[in-house]
Amino acid sequence: MAHLIERLIPAAVSAPTLVATPRRAAWGHWLGASASAVLLACSPATSAGSQSATLTPAQLQARYEAGQQLFEEKCRTEAGIRIYRKVEKVEGILLQKIRTDRGDRSWTDPMWVGAANTHDSTDDGYINSFLGYEHSSDRVKPVSPESRGYITPDYQPGNPSNVRGYRYVEVEDGGQRWRYSGSMRAVGKKDIHAPNVVYALKQNPNMDLNVYRWVLDKTPAAGPAPRYAVTFEDHVIPEHRKLWVASTTIKVLDLQAKETMAEFTRFVWSQGGVSPWLRVRSCPRIPGSDSDNPTRKFVDQVLIPKQEETK
């Protein structure tokens, strides 16, 4: 068995806080209410479904309390980040699975496979999250393991942190291994007649008129696959899902040594609402910015990306 060198279970596990998914953020703040009121807000036509429509307030309260008890027990006994080994200056990794796009109905489905990890981007966005730069949300303090930031594709000179992601990631699809990389490229020109451009040209006649956008490149991978890989396993346990508790385990693997280098087991619990999986408590949380691609922020603690050489 691998030797545990680091176990990260934030103190918030003992008293988890309500967190919002990126999609939910635009909906405004969720105001607290009694357990029964929250669960009654779940539309009978949606997921919890018609079952909720037939439950009495007392039964809803009992389900709420059972879900909370199960969630908090799992936070104490199973959830956590366990790191057995780290590697520095990693340039590329293999993604054995990709988080795929979720339909609107998923948010209301108690058996939705991906319910425990709604904070990650999906499809190409999932791939991009491993390639982008991590920036600090603080104007002065750089990102750290205790205070993670946000990820974008571009380098930001004025930010105290520009922590680069991986140079490339590879993905297996249909028997073919593909290599993804990306860069900011000029994809068009600004309209020189637009008022804001006219004003900017008066201030600086030599301004760059190019429009830049992140472009993701996909090419057939040549040579051996990357040594290190990332995968995940979403758990659908009917007894847990009846109480709106979901879980997932993300793993970092050394394919050459055939070892598990780290594991991230996360539990979430929905307290109800029209779209229950949009309103969850989770444990453990990535410190600082848990709602922005937590898988990348777990993986880069283990497979530390190679950074630019400083002179």
Cβ proximity of 241 and 51 under 8 Å: no
Residue pLDDT, tens place only, 69-97: 999 999 999 999 999 999 999 999 999 99
Mean residue pLDDT across the chain: 83
**Which residues are bridge partners to 305 per DSSP?**
90
pLDDT at 133: 92
* Model pLDDT, residue 44: 33
Q: Let me know the angle formed at the C-alpha of 77 by 75 and 81, rounded to the nearest 5 degrees.
A: 70
What is the per-residue pLDDT for 118? Answer: 87
- pLDDT, tens digit, 9 for 90 and up, residues 135-167: 998 888 999 888 899 998 888 989 999 999 999
CA distance 134 to 111: 33
Distance of alpha carbon 181 from alpha carbon 216, whole angstroms: 6
The percent of residues above 70 in pLDDT, for the chain, comes to: 81
* pLDDT tens by residue, 45-57: 334 444 556 888 8
Residue 20 has pLDDT above 80, yes or no: no
Q: Quickly tell me which residue has 């004003």 as its tokens.
A: 199
Q: Is residue 55 part of a domain?
A: yes
> Is 26 part of any domain?
no
In a domain, residue 229? The reply is no
Structural domains of the chain, count: 1
Predicted confidence band of residue 267 (pLDDT cuts 50, 70, 90): very high
Across 36-62, average pLDDT: 57
For residue 12, is pLDDT > 80? no
In the numeric block, which tokens belong to residue 24? Answer: 């939910």
Q: Mind spelling out the 3-state secondary structure of the chain?
A: CCCCCEEECCHHHHCCCEEECHHHHCCCCCCCCCHHHHHHCCCCCCCCHHHHHCCCHHHHHHHHHHHHHHHHHHHHHCCEEEECCCEEEECEEEECCCCCCCCHHHHHCCCCCCCCCCCCCCCHHHHHHHHCEEECCCCCCCCECCECCEEECCCCCCCCCCECCCCEEEEEECCEEEEEEEEEEEEEECCCCCHHHHHHHHHCCCCCCEEEEEEEEEEECCCCCCCEEEEEEEECCHHHHCCCEEEEEEEEEECCCCEEEEEEEEEEEECCCCCHHHEEEEECCCCCCCCCCHHHHHHHHHEEECCCCCC
- Which range is least confidently modeled, 35-44, 86-95, 203-212, 217-226? 35-44
Alpha carbons 78 and 264: distance in angstroms, whole number: 10
In a domain, 258, yes or no: no
Q: Cα dist. 121→24, 117, 151, 201 in Å?
A: 14, 10, 11, 37
- For the cut 80, the answer to whether the pLDDT of residue 40 exceeds it is no
What the block records as the tokens of 148 is 């993670």
Residue 290 in domain: no
In a domain, 210, yes or no: no
Kindly tell me if the per-residue pLDDT of 271 is higher than 90: no
Please tell me whether the peptide bond between 284 and the residue prior to it is cis, using omega within 30 degrees of 0.
yes
Examine the pLDDT at 240 and tell me if it is beyond 90.
Answer: yes
The more confident residue out of 247 and 45 is 247
**In whole angstroms, what is the distance from residue 17 CA to residue 31 CA?**
13
In a domain, 113, yes or no: no
Are the beta carbons of 121 and 129 closer than 8 angstroms? yes
Q: Residue 102 and residue 112: Cα distance in Å, rounded?
A: 9
* Any domain includes 301: no
Q: Between residues 175 and 171, which one has the greater pLDDT?
A: 171
The whole-angstrom separation of Cα 105 and Cα 199 is 46
Determine the Cα–Cα distance for residues 48 and 279; give it in Å rounded to an integer.
14
Range of the domain at 69: 35-81
pLDDT of residue 128: 94
